[in-house]
Amino acid sequence: MEAAMRWLVGWSSTTTRPPGGAAAVGTPGATGTAGATGDDGETLTPVGSQLLWGDPDPLWAVGDWRPDEVRTVKADDQTRIAVLGTCGASDEELRVSLFAARGGALRHLTAWPGSYTAVVQVGRRVMIAGDLAGARPVFYTPWAGGTAYATAALPLADLIEAHLDIGHLAALLAAPDVPEALHDSTPYQDVRRVPPGHALILRAGAREIAGYEPVASLAVAAPAADEAGALDGVRDALVEAVRARLRAPRHVPGTDIDPGPVPGMGPAERRAARGMPVPGIGADLSGGPASGTLALLAAGLPGMPGTVLGHGTGAGERLVAVTFNDLVSGGREAELERAGAIAANPRLHHVVVAAGEEALPYADLDGPLTDEPSAVIVTAQRHRARLASGSADHFTGYGARQVLDAHPARLADLLMDRKRRYLVRPVTALAKAEGSVMVPARVYGAARKLARTTHRAGVQSLADRLLHRHFEEPGGAVGASLAALAWARPGPAARWLTGEALAEVSVRLQETATRPGPGPGQRPGEFRARAALFRHAADLRVLEQAAEVRFQRLHAPFLDNQVVRACRALPESLRVRPGARAAILRTVLEGAGVTELPPGWGAPSHASAAAAARTGLRVAVNELIGLFDTPLLAQAGLVEARVVRKALRAAADGEPLPLDGLADLVSTEIWLRRLLSRRGTCWTGTPARQRAVPTGSVVPQRGALGAGR
């Protein structure tokens, strides 16, 4: 079973005729046909697609796109733009943008509110802009003498019948937060990823990757950040991001008829049981500051948010706020109380989802095939239980921590800027948490060392750690901060990989010495924060596919381009203050007219996902051990089965092992099994067309781990 992904795909050929010699039959906005002739004479077109424009450089939208999510605007016969997703630009703004794009300007294509992908065609030149966070990535692959591109990797892997890139999987497990380890690779050989903040430019099949964000100058000092102006910028960007969703047309999910009363179940429960969201707009309301901010903004902005009158709760335009209550793990009582206090707002309709063992991590490992592996696969059922009670358009607070919080490595940035006084508050907070007077000296020393370490030396240090299997790190809050004060660090699953796999990842890291570093003016804290954002956005993309509820759209405004830009303008001195995220969001709400918040709002959550993960692991340990009887990861040479089985038993017995590392291993194994057991392909022409991993098995080969370099 594959996830109901929505993606766009196209290609640019070297001639005015499509690859393979098929006739150019497509026209802009047509519903006819376009495609290419494959090696066996079949015409290649994506399955379930709608043609946006035709040959010689066709573009398709594939999947269950809503009508308002696919827009094309044409300036003349040679100039046109397609925007897929939620975009706040008007048709006239899109038309004006084409004239700037004709001259090569790309940044303005990413500056409208919303979350979308823009594709511009000017003659034989095609430009596809990715986003800043990486939640809407762009992939490409050489094909038929030209270049094929898509917003998903699997369709391109099917197109070229790609084999697995075992080296990428090794790097994903050994160093998931290190861009130098992953570089531009994907789980499929020869399918590449465009880095966030860059655009793919194709000229008659030839490709170029160009960054569209301005690069910091070393000759001119950056202007001092204005704290009040930066906060205003975050407020304006976030409000506009929410407003862009409210302006979009309302959607009533599906056409299924309610089968009628069921004892003990209301209309909302019956709809959730059928896997159908509530019509209209809703939001998560966890009790934390991020989801609470979005719920209050969406409920308070003009534009009649919430459900469609006459549907769902019957509450007219009240916004549906969904709170997840874990009855097994517990520990979130304070957050639940705050969520209930926020939901007392008359414009909110509060829905509490009570979840038992059936919603624990690892509880249900039968799900759809996603584009890439991610640890969220093991918690997909947990998220689906919450989202099934949500709305057709559902706001989530994902990404707030990554764009607002200060990564511990930012302490080194402050030292580089000679702003030592701003280290006092965060270091004092760590000292209070640890109860030790030695904390300030330890943290200051680690930050000073990082400030004096070059990027190349930091990556080389990680390569040495992997090669010599040095994974021990100090525990506690201070230990985590000290470990994070580095350019790069091993992932939690690295300790269970084979020596060969770690050696191959070490070689990949050492080879980065021949490539440019993170760019002029890049500092370790800023670099680490961006890498964490990219990883989080990639996980969210997989979560959308793995936990998708039919007819539902998840909205993560914190990952919108304009919100990310506004958050990047926040000064370091503001970020590193304890409780900075809650304070920033409180200011955002006050600027939007929301002043009454419950006591303790924004307090750090001690409810731990680790408690739920350990409980879920203990309940499902026998099934997980069976999963690693003959694992595909062992066939690929990445792990030894007995080592993983021993770790699973130990973690279930309560030993202090990194549970997120075990989640990485389990989810990657599940993803491999789903990929190899799939039937069919993303393209027509079957059975002549093969699919990704055409052998249907993991074929261990000497040196295969380094195939993606």
DSSP state of 343: T
265, part of any domain: no
Residue 628 confidence (pLDDT): 96
| Average confidence (pLDDT) over 20-33 | 38
- Rounded to two decimals, what is the model's pTM? 0.92
pLDDT per residue as tens digits for the range 73-91: 998 888 999 999 999 999 9
Say what the pLDDT of residue 362 is: 95
Q: What is the pLDDT of residues 683-704, one digit of tens each?
A: 987 666 778 888 877 876 545 4
Is residue 354 domain-resident? no
3-state secondary structure 376-444: HHHHHHHHHHHHCCCEEEEECCCCHHHHHCCCCCHHHHHHHCCCHHHHHHHHHHHHHHHCCCCHHHHHH
SS (H, E, C) 145-178: CEEEEECCHHHHHHHHCCCECHHHHHHHHHCCCC
Considering all CA atoms of the chain, what is the largest pairwise distance in Å, rounded to the nearest integer?
A: 76
Let me know if residue 165 belongs to a domain: yes
Position 160 in a domain: yes
pLDDT(285) > 50: yes
* Residue that finishes a domain, picked among 163, 179, 211: 211
For residue 152, being part of any structural domain is answered with yes
- Strand ranges for 182-335 from DSSP E: 192-193, 198-203, 206-211, 278-284, 319-326
Asked whether the predicted pLDDT for residue 533 surpasses 80, the reply is: yes
- Burial degree of 565 (CB within 10 A; 0-12, 13-18, 19+): middle
In a domain, 493, yes or no: no
**Among 188, 211, 234, residue at a domain's last position:** 211
Percent of the chain with pLDDT over 70: 85
The amino acid at 133: A
Q: State which of 184, 211, 238 marks the end of a domain.
A: 211
User: Does some domain include residue 240?
Assistant: no
What does the block give as tokens for 103?
Answer: 């001259």
Residue 677 lies in a domain: yes
Domain of 666, in residue numbers: 614-681
b/e map 484-515, b = 16+ CB within 10 Å: bbbbbbbbbbbbbbbeebbbbbbbbbbebeee
Residues 549, 387 contacting (CB under 8 angstroms):
yes
Q: Which two tokens stand for residue 157?
A: 């892997």
The domain that holds 186 is classified in CATH as 3.60.20.10
**Whether pLDDT at 294 is above 90:** yes
Q: What is the pLDDT of residues 354-403, one digit of tens each?
A: 988 888 999 989 889 999 999 999 999 999 999 999 999 999 999 999 99
φ/ψ (deg, to 5) at 207: -120, 150
Number of domains composing the chain: 2
Q: What is the pLDDT of residues 549-563, one digit of tens each?
A: 888 999 999 999 999
- Omega of the bond prior to 56 within 30 degrees of 0, cis? yes
- The structure tokens listed for 123 are 């003659």
> Which residues, 6 or more positions from 111, have their beta carbon under 8 angstroms from its beta carbon?
561, 562
